[in-house]
Amino acid sequence: MAKKFFSLIIVPHNRGKFKTITLSEKKVKILIMVFTLLFTTLTIFLIDYFSMNVTRQKYRELFDENSRQKQAIAKYKVSINKLKADIDDFEAYANKINVMAGLKAPEVLKEVGLGGGDRGSGQEIDSSNYSQDAGLNRAQKISRKADGIDKNLNTLVKFFEEQTAKLASTPTIWPTTGWLVSAYGSRTDPFTGKSAFHYGLDIASSFGNPVVATADGFVSHVKREKIGGNTVIISHGGGFTTVYCHLSKFAVKAGQRIKRWDVIGYIGQTGKALGPHVHYEVRRNGKAVNPYKYILEE
């Protein structure tokens, strides 16, 4: 059987001689196989090239996102460290206030959430030991400490409110300006000349000088007595009651709420009195106590 041949005639544009390339069937098949292989290889290369382009683009996006996250984490670490330092300083300040308030017993500080700070070495956040979980745990610890301080401050506020109310209801000032002419305790009664117990302070002053409430409270009695004359009794709460006798006239009514320094009456000489003065008593839980021990001003 005769071999088959294929002829490829190349005709130039100019008038030169044309060329004829003769190939056997075998060579044509080989060339077709080579071109097919080259085409397949080129196609695979192009597909791979475009795939790599997409991958590189995604990589660049991920790299940029990673860079942004690193910057955000760096800022987050700085903020966490600053927040921790502020919380620790705040805790130390709250501890001072607790000591000043007298809440310094360990069980009290533990109850209100103070103490047990973690300022120790190796606890700071840095780039070498930081992780997302570590940062989250750190933030949770700081949050718990802040909650504890918040509870403590609420306790302190309540404590100082109670102390303020207690101080406001404690008789701590002189009821008028003048001179102390008779103290609390045993004395010779000026009317009988016999020894008797004096349950208050006698403060001599000019007739008509104002007499003020020595603490917050409400007027429980406004009355006229044979011995005490015009008398005002004020209930302050906390077991405290104050009594003001020998007034010339009243400036309050029974049931009226008053504040410390409010005028309740005026110096007089009503009842059993040798001269213008106020007889001032402090009673605690119904029993007379020395008023002088409660007066804080000179």
84 pLDDT band, cuts 50/70/90, is confident
Dump pLDDT digits (tens) for 163-187: 788 888 899 999 999 999 999 999 8
Query: Over the chain, what HEC string results?
Result: CCCCEEEEEECCCCCCCCEEEEEEHHHHHHHHHHHHHHHHHHHHHHHHHHHHHHHHHHHHHHHHHHHHHHHHHHHHHHHHHHHHHHHHHHHHHHHHHHHHHCCCCHHHHHHCCCCCCCCCCCCCCCCCCCCHHHHHHHHHHHHHHHHHHHHHHHHHHHHHHHHHHHHHCCCCCCCCCCEEEECCEEEECCCCCCEEEECCEEEECCCCCEEECCCCEEEEEEEEECCCEEEEEEEEECCEEEEEEEEEEECCCCCCEECCCCEEEEEECCCCCCCCEEEEEEEECCEEECHHHHCCCC
Same domain, 103 and 163: yes
Question: In whole angstroms, what is the distance from residue 89 CA to residue 95 CA?
Answer: 10
Residue 25 in any domain: the answer is yes
Question: In whole angstroms, what is the distance from residue 216 CA to residue 242 CA?
Answer: 11
Higher pLDDT, 85 or 235: 235
- Out of 168, 189, 223, a domain closes at 168
Q: Are strands 240-250 and 179-182 parallel, antiparallel or unpaired?
A: unpaired
Most confident of 87-96, 101-110, 171-180: 171-180
Residue 173 in any domain: the answer is no
Residue 22 in any domain: the answer is yes
Dump pLDDT digits (tens) for 152-166: 777 777 777 787 888
Residue 174 in any domain: the answer is no
Same domain, 57 and 99: no
Residue 148 in any domain: the answer is yes
Q: Are strands 179-182 and 201-204 parallel, antiparallel or unpaired?
A: antiparallel
| Residue whose tokens read 């045993």 | 186
Residue 123 in any domain: the answer is yes
Same domain, 183 and 137: no
Residue 121 has pLDDT above 80, yes or no: no
Dump pLDDT digits (tens) for 32-70: 888 899 889 888 888 888 888 888 888 888 888 888 888
Structure tokens at 291: 């008023």
CB of 210 within 8 A of CB of 176?
Answer: yes
Q: What's the burial of 23, exposed, middle or buried (CB within 10 Å: 0-12/13-18/19+)?
A: middle
Same domain, 122 and 94: yes
> What is the span of the domain harbouring residue 124?
77-168
123 pLDDT band, cuts 50/70/90, is very low
The pLDDT score that the predictor gives to residue 246 is 96
Same domain, 258 and 186: yes
Question: In whole angstroms, what is the distance from residue 61 CA to residue 106 CA?
Answer: 55
Same domain, 158 and 226: no
- Out of 147, 168, 189, a domain closes at 168
Same domain, 86 and 146: yes
Same domain, 84 and 44: no
Residue 72 in any domain: the answer is no
250 pLDDT band, cuts 50/70/90, is very high
CB of 138 within 8 A of CB of 125?
Answer: yes
176: left (phi over 0), alpha (psi -120 to 50) or beta: beta
The pLDDT score that the predictor gives to residue 76 is 75
Same domain, 284 and 187: yes
Number of domains in the chain: 3
Residue length of the chain: 298
Question: In whole angstroms, what is the distance from residue 75 CA to residue 294 CA?
Answer: 57
- Out of 142, 168, 194, a domain closes at 168
> What is the domain-level CATH number for residue 254?
2.70.70.10
Question: In whole angstroms, what is the distance from residue 276 CA to residue 248 CA?
Answer: 9
Same domain, 189 and 282: yes
Residue 156 in any domain: the answer is yes
Same domain, 136 and 213: no
Residue 224 has pLDDT above 80, yes or no: yes
Same domain, 184 and 160: no
